[in-house]
Amino acid sequence: MKILAGQNMSHREIADILHVSKTAVTRGLARIKEVGSLQSRNRSGRPRVTTPTSDRIIRRASVGNRSWSSKRIALELQPAPSSRTVRRRLLTDFELPSRKPARKSRLSKKNVKDRMTFCNQYKHWTVDQWNKVLFSDESTFSQFSSYVCHVRRPVNTRYKARYVVPTVKQAPTVMIWGSFRGNGCGGLWFLPKNTTINGAVYLSILQEKLMPHMNIHNCSIFQQDGAPCHRTAAVTTWIRGQGTKYLVLGVDPALTSTQLKICGT
């Protein structure tokens, strides 16, 4: 820009060559005349509290101690910055925001081995083969359960109805058995109130619900996990008596091997 201006070119001509506005050229030349370059002038403002070294300490403390609060991390520095500064560094500089951890079942080494064996054994199955499998499981649901963990509310409104989570002592629960396959849902079976599932209850569910739904969905293989009630001798004998193959995740007591297999073959 300075070179072009030295060639006695107008601001409009310089703007056309550089593909910028005429105002940008005027301001740029004024900046060059004032400070000798196009770099921004030093501006006033609060200096950064942390240094690159302390920023690395903040990141290392957060990664090494994943449950530490920003206030606890700040104590690793001398002088200690504010917890807000620590949160800003973690969020803006390192993309490490605080999140609520997900919850999932703990897997033992045997669980991991069994699941890997299962995956490796059936990884070559085609979509058509998996569409022949009816998957099932059961779960307990509580009528008054709530998963709200955080609310934002004004001061002195702790017990207003819209900000509280209602609770009920001895809330009624119900056990539900369900199934599905590749092209849609199977059936649902609601057990009587406060019923605990065991081998006998599970067998009664299968006797009433399993075969009709397998016929509706044109399935020839039944999949269940390795829950104790699924692996009783009565359940295993009944499923085999129906001429149905089944996939089991876990140990089948009727087998001598602990490897995952297609049973009933």
Q: What is the largest CA-CA distance in the chain?
A: 100
Lowest mean per-residue pLDDT among 100-109, 139-148, 166-175:
139-148
Tell me the pLDDT tens digit for each residue of 13-32: 888 888 888 888 888 888 88
Contacts of 120 (CB under 8 A, 6+ apart): none
Residue 70, domain member (yes or no): yes
Measured CA to CA, the distance from residue 255 to residue 236 in angstroms comes to 11
Highest mean pLDDT among 60-69, 194-203, 250-259: 60-69
- pLDDT per residue over 68-107, tens digit each? 889 999 999 988 999 999 999 998 898 888 877 777 778 8
In a domain, 43, yes or no: no
Distance CA 173, CA 194 (A): 6
- 214-233 confidence digits (pLDDT tens): 888 888 888 888 788 888 88
CATH number of the domain at 221, please: 3.30.420.10
**Number of compact structural domains in the chain:** 3
Question: Is 47 within a domain?
Answer: no
Q: Are residues 169 and 193 in the same domain?
A: yes
β-pairing, 262-263 vs 221-225, is unpaired
Q: Domain check: are 67 and 159 in the same one?
A: no
Nearest 5°: the CA angle 206, 127, 221 is 20
The token pair that represents 10 in the structure block = 């107008």
